[in-house]
A and B are shown apart, each in its own frame.
Chain A
Amino acid sequence: MANQTQHGIGGLTYDKSKRAWPNEANVFIALVLIILAFEALGQILPYMDGQSMLFDFNLNRDDTILNMARIKIIILQVSIIGIIALGVTQVIVSGGIDLSSGPLVGAAAMIVMSFGQTALVNGNPNPSAAFAGDWAFDLPVILPILVGLAFGAFIGSINGSLIAYTRIPPFIATLGMFLICRGIAQWWTKGQPISFPTPQYAALGSGMMPVVWFALLAVVLFLVMKYTVYGKHTYAIGSNEDAARMSGINVKRHKVLVYMIASMLAAFAAIVLSSKNLTAQAGMGQFYELYAIAMAVIGGVSLTGGRGSIVGTVLGAMVFGVIQSGFTFIKLDAFYQLMAMGAIIIGAVVLDQYRQQRGTR
C-alpha cells in the first residue's frame, strides 16, 4: 500500500508538497457546497418563494439573521447517531468495523429505561411498566447510566475479544452481535415498549442536551485520538498491524479496548435517545450502525484503516444533518429522499477518493 506510507502513521501527517490541505478541508468544502446547493434550490424552485435555508431576515422570529431553529435541528437530528459515529470512527481507524451499534442502541435503551422508569404517571401506576408489580421504580438517575455503560462495555468486550483472540473478521463478529442485540432488545420485555422515565432521566436528552453530549464527547475523543498513546496506538494498528505488534504494542488488548469504547458510546447514545423520546422500544436504532459508518466515511475515515479523524466524522455528521433538513426545506417528496441520500453518500466518497489519488500521485 504505497498510498498509506505517504500519509505516515495516523494519517495526521501528510506530505505538504503533494497534499494542499488536510482531508477534513475537503469535507468542509463539500458541506458548504451542499448548503449552497440547497440555498440555490430555495431561490430557483418556483414554489419556494425564494426562501433561504439558513438565513431568515424576518427579525421578528429571533434576533439574528440566521434561522436558528433550522441550524439547531440540523445538529440535533444527527447528534445521537453522531455519538455512535465517534466510537465507530476509532474502530474503523483501527482497521475494524462495528455493525452491532444500531441493535445495541435498541437493547441498551430497553435495559436502561427499565431502570429509569417512573412509578406514577399523573398519579396512576405507570401503564407501560416493565416487569409490572415487583420492580423498583424512581431509581436515582446515576443507576440507569451505570447499567447502560456496563452493558455497553460488556457487549463491546465480547466483540473485541472475539476479534482479537479468535481472530474472526470484525464484520462477522459484530454481525453476530447485531442479531444477538436485536434479540436481547425484544426479549427484555417481550417486545413491549417502556415509557415515562423519571424527570432526572428525562433531563439527560431534553432540548439541546443531545448536542451538548455530542460536542463534549467529540472534544474528548478528538483529544484522545490526537494526543494520547491510546490514539496513536489505534492509528498504528490500523495502518499496519504487524508493524504495530513488532514495535511492542499489545495489539490484542488494545483492540478489546477499542470495541469496548465504541459500544459504551453506542450505549450512551441509547440513554440520550430514550431520554429524548421518553420511551424505549425494541426497534430503536434501526440502521444507526450504517448511518454511523456512513458519517465516518463521508468524513474521510478510510475503511482500510489507519486514516481519518474525529473532526472529519463530526463534519460528516453535519453533512447528514444538512441533507436531511435540506430535503424537508425544499419539500422533496418522501419517495425520492432515500435515493438522493444514497447518491450523495456515494458521490461524496468518490469525490474524496479522487482528490486523494490526485494528491498523492
Chain B
Amino acid sequence: MKKTFIAAGIAALMTTSAMAETVGVTIARFDDNFLTVMRNGMTEYADTLADVDLVVEDAQDDVARQLDQINNFIASGVDAIIVNAVDTNATEAMTQAAASAGVPLVYVNRQPVNMDTLPEGQAFVASNEIESGTLAAFEACQLLRAAGLAGGANGYILMGQLSNQAAVQRTKDVDDVIGMDMCNFINIIDRQTAEWSRDRAADLVTNWISSGEDFDVIFANNDEMAIGAINAMTAAGIDMGDVVVVGVDATQDALVAIANGDLDATVFQDAAGQGSGSVDAAVALARGEAVDQQVFIPFQLVTPANLSDFTDRN
C-alpha cells in the first residue's frame, strides 16, 4: 500500500504537464452496500487527486454488459480501467480486451480466475477472501467453547448468492474451521442461500426455528443475513445471549448490532481502502510505474472489545 502511495506520489510529481488521467471503472452492482462503500472510496479518493478523472459504470450484475463497458472504455481512449468483476470466471475475455488494446487494467475486490496468468500492466487489489470467513468462523468456535459447548453444538450456515465466489469461499472457510480438531464439535444442521438479503435470511431462519431443532450458532456469509437471522430469532423469543451469530463486512448496521450484544462478531473488509488502492494502482500503471500484481488489504476481526476502532470506517 505504502509503496504504491509513494509510487503514485512520485509519479504525480514527475508528471509536470497537466495531462489528466481518465480511468474507466465498472462496478458489478451499484445497489450492493459493500460495493457502494468501495465505489465511494474510489470517487472520494480520486477527487483528492488533481489530475485523475473517474468514469464509473454500473454493470448491473450482467457479465456481458460489463465486457461491453470495458470495450467502450477502450474505444473512448481511457488511460486505465478498474474492474469489479460481476463473475470472476469471466475475466479472461476482459484481460484480453484490455491487453490487446494496451490499456492497463486493475481488478478490484473480486479475484479474477486468471490471476496466475495476468499479463504485464494488469493487477489485482483486494483482501484475501480466505481470511474473512475463517476469522469469523474461528471466533464463533472459540465463543462456543467458552460457553461450555465443546461437547457438541448445532448450527446453520446462511449462504450468499451461490454464483458468487465470496459466498462459496466463506462457506468453505466455515467447513474448514469445523474440520479442525479444535472445532469439530460443531454440527451443521442445514445450509441454505438467502441471497445476501436480510429479508430472505429472516424468513429462512424462521423456517429453521419452526422445525424445533435447537441450535447454538449461525454462520452468515455477510452481515445483512446475520442481522436478518437476529431479527427472526428475536421475534421468536430466542435470547441472543444463547446463540452465537457471526457475519462478514462490518457494516454500520452490524456494528450497532454488536454494540447491542446481538451480533457476536463480524469481519472488517476495508472497502474504501480497496477502492482508493485500486485507483492508485490504475493511475500508477497508466503512468508506466511498476505495481505489484497483487495488492492485499488485510481483513480484521471486529468484536465488542475493539468495536470503537471501526465505527467510522465503512
Number of interface residues of B (CB under 8 A): 41
| Docked complex Cα distance between A113 and B30 (Å) | 19
Whether the Cβ atoms of B212 and A277 lie closer than 8 Å is no
B260 touches A122 (CB 8 A): yes
Contact at B206–A206, with CB atoms within 8 Å?
no
Residues of B within 8 A of A73 (CB): 203, 206-207, 210
Once the chains bind, are B236 and A206 in contact (CB under 8 Å)?
no
Contact with B along A177-215 (1 / 0, CB 8 A): 000001001100011110110000000001100000000
Residue-by-residue, is B116-143 near A (CB-CB < 8 Å gives 1, otherwise 0)? 0000000000000000000000000000
| Assembly CA distance A51 to B211 (angstroms) | 9
Bound-state CA distance A274–B192 (Å) is: 23
* Contact status of A77 and B203, CB under 8 A, knowing A58-B212, A186-B31, A195-B252: yes
| Residue of B33, B203, B236, B311 ringed by the most chain A CB atoms within 10 A | B203
Given A77-B203, A278-B231, also A70-B30 (CB < 8 A): no
Task: Check B206–A76 contact: CB distance below 8 A.
Answer: yes
B29 at interface by CB-CB < 8 Å: yes
Indicate whether B97 reaches chain A with its CB closer than 8 angstroms. no
A128, B202: Cβ atoms under 8 Å? no
Interface size of A by CB at 8 A reads 44
B209 interfacial contact with A, CB 8 Å? yes
**In the complex, are the beta carbons of A282 and B203 less than 8 A apart?**
no
Chain A, residue nearest B203 (CB): A77
CA distance A56 to B209 in the complex (A): 13
A281→B31 contact, CB < 8 A: yes
Nearest residue in A to B196 (C-beta to C-beta)? A283
Distance to closest chain B CB from A128 (angstroms): 5
> Is there contact, CB below 8 Å, between A334 and B212?
no
Q: Mark B50-74, 1 if CB is under 8 A from A, else 0.
A: 0000000010000000000000000
B18 at the interface (CB under 8 A from A): no
Determine whether the beta carbon of A277 is less than 8 Å from that of B199: yes
Contacts of B244 in A (CB 8 A): none
In the complex, whether B228 has a CB less than 8 A from a CB of chain A is yes
Chain A contacts for B207, CB-based, 8 A: 70, 73, 77, 324-325, 328-329
| Cross-chain contact A206 with B252 (CB below 8 angstroms) | no
> What residues of B have a CB within 8 angstroms of the CB of A76 in the complex?
203, 206
Q: CB of B259 within 8 A of chain A?
A: yes
The reply to whether the CB of A145 lies closer than 8 angstroms to some CB of chain B is no
Q: Does B187 have its Cβ within 8 Å of any Cβ on chain A?
A: no
Determine the residue in chain A with the shortest Cβ distance to B211. A329
Q: Is the CB of B256 within 8 A of A67?
A: no
A277 CA / B201 CA spacing, docked (Å): 10
Q: Which of B234-285 contact A (CB under 8 A)?
A: 235-236, 251-253, 255-256, 259-260
B162 touches A193 (CB 8 A): no
Query: What are 26 inter-chain pairs, A to B, with CB distance below 8 A?
Result: A51-B211, A61-B212, A69-B236, A70-B211, A72-B210, A122-B256, A127-B253, A127-B256, A128-B253, A182-B31, A191-B30, A191-B33, A195-B252, A196-B256, A277-B231, A279-B198, A279-B253, A281-B198, A283-B29, A283-B197, A324-B207, A328-B192, A328-B207, A328-B208, A334-B162, A334-B191
* Contacts beyond the supplied A279-B253, A284-B199, A324-B203: 20 A-B pairs with Cβ under 8 Å: A56-B212, A58-B212, A61-B212, A69-B212, A73-B203, A73-B207, A76-B203, A77-B206, A77-B207, A122-B259, A127-B256, A186-B58, A190-B40, A195-B252, A195-B256, A206-B235, A279-B227, A281-B31, A331-B190, A335-B162
Listed from nearest, the 7 A-B pairs whose CB atoms lie closest are: A70-B210, A69-B210, A282-B31, A283-B31, A191-B36, A127-B252, A77-B203
